[in-house]
Amino acid sequence: MGKFVNNTEEFFTFCEENDVQFVDFRFTDIKGAWHHVTYRMSAVNAGQLNGGLPFDGSSIDAWQPINKSDMLLKPDVASAFLDPFTADPTIIVFCDVYDIYKNQAYERCPRSIAKAALKHADSLGIADAAYFGPENEFFMFDSVTFVDNINEAGYKVDSEEGEWNSNNPYPENYNTGHRPGTKGGYFPVAPTDSAVDIRAEMMQVLEQVGLEVILGHHEVAQAQHEIGIVFSDIIGAADNVQKYKYVVKMIAHLNGKTATFMPKPMFGDNGNGMHVHQSLWKDGKNLFYKEGNYANVSEMGLNYVGGIFKHARSVAAFTNPTTNSYKRLLPGFEAPSVLTYSSQNRSAACRIPYGAGEMATRVEMRFPDSTACPYLAFAVMMMAGLDGIQNKEVPIGPMDEDLYELSLDEIREKGIPQMPHTLRGSLEALIRDNEFLKPVFTDEFLDAYRHYRFERDVWPDEGRPTAYEFKTTYQC
How far apart, in Å, are the Cα atoms of 428 and each of 169, 290, 349? Answer: 50, 37, 21
Alpha carbon distance 444, 459 (integer Å):
21
161 labeled binding residue:
no
Alpha carbon distance 410, 32 (integer Å):
37
218 labeled binding residue:
no
56 a catalytic residue: yes
Alpha carbon distance 327, 266 (integer Å):
10
Among the listed residues 346, 433, 456, 461, the single catalytic one is: 346
137 a catalytic residue: yes
135 labeled binding residue:
yes
271 labeled binding residue:
yes
405 labeled binding residue:
no
**Beta-carbon count within 10 A of 358 CB:** 12
226 labeled binding residue:
yes
Mapped onto helix, strand or coil, the DSSP state of residue 401 is: coil
393 labeled binding residue:
no
279 labeled binding residue:
yes
Nearest to 416 by CA among 362, 339, 473: 339
Among the listed residues 9, 16, 56, 402, the single catalytic one is: 56
Among the listed residues 29, 96, 219, 428, the single catalytic one is: 219
Among the listed residues 96, 137, 193, 457, the single catalytic one is: 137
219 labeled binding residue:
yes
| Residue 57 amino acid letter | G
> What is the CA 118 to chain-centroid distance, rounded?
18
* Residue 433 C-beta-side C-alpha neighbours within 13 Å: 20
135 a catalytic residue: yes
**Beta-carbon count within 10 A of 213 CB:** 17
178 a catalytic residue: no
Q: What are residue 131's DSSP bridge partners?
A: 233, 279
Whether residue 188 is preceded by a cis peptide bond, meaning omega within 30 degrees of 0, is no
328 labeled binding residue:
yes
137 labeled binding residue:
yes
Among the listed residues 107, 161, 193, 364, the single catalytic one is: 364
275 labeled binding residue:
yes
Nearest to 19 by CA among 87, 74, 77: 87
* Strands (E) located in 413-458: none
Among the listed residues 135, 207, 233, 433, the single catalytic one is: 135
Among the listed residues 108, 179, 199, 275, the single catalytic one is: 275
- DSSP letter at 454? I
219 a catalytic residue: yes
List CB contacts of 157: < 8 A, sequence separation 6 or more: 139, 141, 143, 144, 265, 266
311 labeled binding residue:
no
Among the listed residues 226, 369, 387, 428, the single catalytic one is: 226
366 a catalytic residue: yes
- As annotated, the binding site for Mg(2+) includes 135, 137, 219, 226, 275, 364
* Binding site as annotated, residues for ATP: 277-279, 346
Indicate which residues carry an active-site annotation: 56, 135, 137, 219, 226, 275, 346, 364, 366
Q: Which residues contribute to the annotated binding site?
A: 135, 137, 219, 226, 270-271, 275, 277-279, 328, 334, 346, 364, 366
